[in-house]
A and B are shown apart, each in its own frame.
Chain A
């Protein structure tokens, strides 16, 4: 007699596995390059340096992402314990703590990859590229990692103007010139360190490939607006690494993987297949960075019919075509292809009358109540999970304000879950599940409220 087994709550995309495997290949590529005596850089995700490094033949690996990989495999704790033993405080960013502990272990074993390192490990860096973008911990963190290996650290600066200032075309132009200057200085540093010249044609090629990957990711996300949501956020998180943390210049494999994913999601939409194997009771958005150590928590929520159809972090930008014909300088072309003004983003994302209302609000108040909400209404979300990170001010400080905005403007409630990206001990899954169960009543209530107000979902 055959026993009927219930399918797993998540309905993973088949195309996800090939892209996920590319992440392993990225780390393997770093190890191989190191063994062959080729340069390897440890890089922060900041959107500018990676393509330049790859174009110069430098393999890149990413301590932030590697910490996530360790956490997802339950291997981050020993590295974090080691960082605490080195004197790093336990309330510091989990990404930083895990990579500091990893580096200390590398020093223990003579600069080699520690035998317990999951996923093949990160080889000893030739250089490190830090960034002042997003959070302050990033400055000192990479500086310290560099000291473990006596490796040079380059800190890339990128402009972070206020929202009101970002509306100004003068500010935009100044920022473009600032970026060109910064990145040219970075290239000069690399040329000096590596003793070779920048391959500008390769930069153009890899930059174009990045745009194509972004376009496909955008198209896939557009498909996710369907009911039922055809792709769960866990699949999005599994493949975003391959798209954003690329270790080599050639983008073809990643483009091909995303094309296959686009085809599979399209098929699901046509056939009405969901990203979960349970009836889609609640369409959800995940705000903040994921709990990499306990992603299975989302499977338990999927069991209850929670389908995470969209997320706030790592989302692709709307694709665009930029006329670069008037720019000959390859670095200027690189910057202008990627860097967009707030005005342009608003024009792309909102209707003309909305754009004017948002701009007026920004000029008056310094921000707009509508910013950061569009995905909630576009994906017709029933509830939002706000992941407040106890060790990350940058991603957590605004979440309470966002919670109020989402409720006031869209009548969509939020569930606050406290935790950490890497440190499993900061997360109480049982408590979070208790809250989640009760939250369903709140979501049901606001569904009625939205209906009474004539809102579309």
Chain B
């Protein structure tokens, strides 16, 4: 029996994610890589890597859906769709009872009100990097720590400090000040996580907080922020096994739905040119 496959590519501000699903929505391959400044030159490479991992070629893909802020720069995608819609669909595929999803990525924070996989409402931060992944990256750098160690370190806190600013620049000043006053590192990091959680909680409360609450995006890998967010919202937080992939998975699922709908209606599936190459502005 011939299997059919669907790819979703999520070109985020910090990370590029590709997922290949089969028709049963099982993940055949996934690749996560840094987007970098030249993301137009990277998308095809990440896709190629995912195809090699799955032992497939691009012609095996029935549909390729692109999402994320760089989605228009994916010349091999058949269609582009907003990442909010894809996140909602992807998250609901892991947690069907999700009511509120929080996604903290590299450059923004999103709150999504979801019912049955559909996006009912949303809020987004859009004016600065406060409370985003970039904020934690800069913090880790200031503290001379690895980004992935922040969560573990914060769990050792016994008396977390209060960080009044979530402005990326001003918060660093506060951190330096606390450290110079001999405040233990774990208390400083836990305080920073609290500041993020408090800002995000304020934002998503506009959507009404109802379980299941799901947390995705790169920052969801930080156990310290997960803990702080659960405390701020006063409810348990669910985190998928790989929180970076919800957008790409959602994109692939929507691609699958479009394909099956077209097949059911006896229509031809509208695919693009499928140029597995760097995006340029001249084609």
Contact = CB atoms under 8 A, between A and B. Distances in A.
Main SS at interface, chain A: helix
B124 A431 contact: yes
Contact of A428 (B83, B84, B119, B127): B127
Interface residues of B, number: 17
Interface of B: 69, 82-85, 88, 108, 118-124, 126-127, 206
Given A437-B82, A438-B82, A438-B85, A431 B122 contact: no
B84 A438 contact: yes
Contacts of B108: 431
B126 A428 contact: yes
B126 A441 contact: no
Contact of B119 (A431, A432, A434, A442): A442
B126 A445 contact: no
Given A418-B126, A442-B122, A434 B85 contact: no
Given A428-B127, A437-B82, A445 B122 contact: no
A439 B113 CA distance: 12
8 contacts: A418-B126, A431-B124, A435-B84, A435-B122, A438-B82, A438-B84, A442-B120, A445-B120
Contact of A438 (B69, B119, B127, B206): B119
Contacts of A57: none
Contacts, number: 41
Given A431-B126, A434-B69, A413 B121 contact: yes
A413 B121 CA distance: 8
Given A435-B122, A438-B84, 19 more contacts: A400-B206, A416-B123, A431-B108, A431-B124, A432-B126, A434-B69, A434-B83, A434-B84, A434-B124, A435-B124, A438-B83, A438-B85, A438-B122, A439-B122, A442-B120, A442-B121, A445-B118, A445-B119, A445-B120
Contacts of A432: 126
Interface in A406-456: 413, 416, 418, 428, 431-432, 434-435, 437-439, 441-442, 445
A439 B85 CA distance: 9
A439 B119 CA distance: 9
Nearest to A446: B120
B125 to A, nearest CB: 9
A387 to B, nearest CB: 14
A435 B126 CA distance: 10
Contacts of B206: 400
Contacts of B126: 418, 428, 431-432, 435
A434 B82 contact: yes
